[in-house]
Amino acid sequence: MKSRIYLIFLFSLVLGTSVIAQNNEECAQNLSIFAENAKVKNYAAAYGPWSSVRMECPDLNIAIYAYGERILKDRLKKSQESEKIQFQNDLLNLYDDWAKYFPTKKGRNDIGNILSAKAQSMIDFKIGSNTEIYTIFDDAFKTDSKSFSNPKRLYSYFKTFYEIYKSGNGKITTEELFEKYEEVSEKFEFEGVKISKNLDKIINKESLGEVLTTRDLKLRKVYDSYSNAIAVSLKSLDAIMGKESSCDNLIVLYGRNFNENKDNIIWLKRATARMYAKNCSESELFVQLVEAMYGIEPSADSAYYLGSLNDKKGKDEQAVTYWEESLDLETDPYKKAKILYKIALKFKEKGRKSTARNYARKALSYQPSLGKAYLMIANLYANSANNCGKSQFDKRAVYWLAANTAKKAARVDASIKKAALKTAASYIGRAPSKTDIFTEGMEGKIIEFSCWINENVMVPKL
φ/ψ of residue 206, rounded to 5:
-65, -40
Interacting residues of 71 by C-beta distance below 8 A, sequence separation 6+: 34, 38, 43, 46, 47, 50
Instruction: Find the range with the poorest average confidence among 26-35, 90-99, 164-173.
Output: 164-173
User: What is the share, in percent, of the chain residues with pLDDT greater than 70?
Assistant: 95
- Assigned domain for 413 exists: yes
**Residues shown for the chain:** 462
pLDDT mean over 186-215:
94
Mind listing the pLDDT tens digit for each residue in 231-278? 999 999 999 998 888 898 899 999 999 999 999 999 999 999 999 988
**Alpha-carbon torsion angle 224, 229, 230, 234, nearest 10:** 140
Does pTM surpass 0.95?
A: no
Decide: helix, strand or coil at residue 3. Answer: helix
Cβ(367)–Cβ(344) under 8 Å? no
In a domain, 387, yes or no: yes
**Confidence category of residue 19, pLDDT binned at 50, 70, 90:** very low
pLDDT of residue 3: 55
Q: What amino acid occupies position 130?
A: N
Q: Residue 22: its pLDDT value, please?
A: 60
Q: How confident is the model at residue 11 (pLDDT cuts 50, 70, 90)?
A: very low
What string of H, E and C letters represents the secondary structure of 328-365?
A: HHCCCHHHHHHHHHHHHHHHHHCCCHHHHHHHHHHHHH
Examine residue 403 and state whether it is found in any structural domain, yes or no.
yes
Question: What pLDDT, on a 0 to 100 scale, did the predictor assign at position 7?
Answer: 44
Domain that holds residue 420: 381-462
Q: What is the pLDDT of residues 112-137, one digit of tens each?
A: 999 999 999 999 999 999 999 999 99
Residue 430 lies in a domain: yes
Question: How many structural domains compose the chain?
Answer: 1
pLDDT higher than threshold 50 for residue 459: yes
- Note whether residue 112 is domain-resident: no
Query: Tell me, what's the pLDDT at 310?
Result: 92
Q: Could you report the per-residue pLDDT of 134-186, keeping only the tens digit for each?
A: 999 999 999 999 999 999 999 999 999 999 999 988 789 999 999 999 999 99
pLDDT tens profile 294-347:
999 899 999 999 999 999 899 989 999 999 999 999 999 999 999 999 999 999
Which residues contact residue 72 at a Cβ distance below 8 angstroms, ignoring those fewer than 6 apart?
Answer: 87, 90, 91, 94
Is 451 part of any domain? yes
pLDDT in tens, 53-92: 999 999 999 999 999 999 999 999 998 888 899 999 999 9
Per the domain annotation, does 424 fall within a domain? Answer: yes
415 is a domain residue: yes
Residue 16 — pLDDT band, cuts 50, 70, 90? very low
Q: Where are the alpha helices (DSSP H) in 208-283?
A: 214-241, 247-261, 265-277
Q: Classify the phi-psi angles of 171: left when phi > 0, otherwise alpha if psi is within -120 to 50, otherwise beta.
A: left
Mean pLDDT of the chain: 92
Question: What's the pLDDT score for residue 17?
Answer: 42
- pLDDT over 90 percentage in the chain: 85
3-state helix, strand, coil in the chain (%, to 5): 75, 5, 20
- Structure confidence by residue, pLDDT tens digits, 341-393: 999 999 999 999 999 999 999 999 999 999 999 999 999 999 999 888 889 99
pLDDT band at 450 (very low <50, low <70, confident <90, very high): confident
CA distances from 459 to 244, 377, 434 (A): 50, 20, 10
